[in-house]
């Protein structure tokens, strides 16, 4: 009897693990639920990146019109990949775009934006990642939509792609404008 249990328990555990993976296989890996959705943006104030021609920003700056907030860093390869899409998003939609520069040296952030273009209306420096933690950021890049009341209405984890913009970000911006 004990012998069957010794062989049976690992088999049962394996079958249970396979079942969990099988039930989760169709889930979108980029979809990470955020407790901040439909809640006001956390209170914060970020200084500008020294030497950059745009200001930093705070919670109050998010009110008044729909804002896309993008968390990025110069050392982030996916941020480099998504950056041309942010430039295009800004040009095509005119949406207000703010950047949270996470854990980056000012000279690196300036060089990154000088090389790739600066689509941001404001860029706050988050050297210690405190603001990113308060926003529930898992890693860079991440993108949020904030409505005119300062409420977070959408979160995208990972680099933006044309499909992610078309299917997720643009509808979220439109919904936030209503």
State pLDDT tens for residues 35-94. Answer: 899 999 999 999 999 999 999 999 999 999 999 999 999 999 999 999 999 999 999 999
Evaluate whether 137 touches 102 at the Cβ level (below 8 Å).
yes
**CA distance linking residue 168 with residue 81, whole number of Å:** 18
Q: What is the value of pTM for the model shown?
A: 0.83
**CA distance linking residue 42 with residue 52, whole number of Å:** 24
State pLDDT tens for residues 134-148. Answer: 999 999 999 999 999
């Amino acid at each position: 009897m004990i012998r069957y249990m010794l062989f049976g328990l690992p088999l049962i555990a394996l079958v249970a693990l396979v079942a969990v993976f099988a039930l989760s296989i169709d889930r979108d890996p980029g979809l990470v639920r955020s407790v901040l959705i439909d809640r006001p943006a956390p209170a914060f104030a970020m200084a500008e990146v020294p030497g950059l021609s745009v200001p930093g920003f705070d919670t109050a700056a998010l009110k008044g019109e729909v804002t896309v907030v993008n968390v990025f860093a110069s050392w982030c390869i996916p941020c480099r990949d998504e950056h041309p899409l942010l430039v295009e998003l800004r040009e095509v939609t005119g949406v207000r775009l703010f950047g949270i520069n996470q854990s980056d040296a000012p000279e690196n952030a300036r060089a990154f934006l000088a090389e790739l273009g600066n689509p941001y209306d404001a860029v706050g420096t988050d050297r210690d990642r405190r603001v990113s933690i308060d926003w529930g950021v898992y890693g860079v890049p991440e993108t949020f939509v904030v409505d005119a009341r300062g409420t977070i209405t959408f979160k995208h984890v990972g680099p933006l792609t044309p499909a992610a913009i078309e299917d997720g970000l643009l509808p979220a911006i439109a919904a936030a404008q209503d």
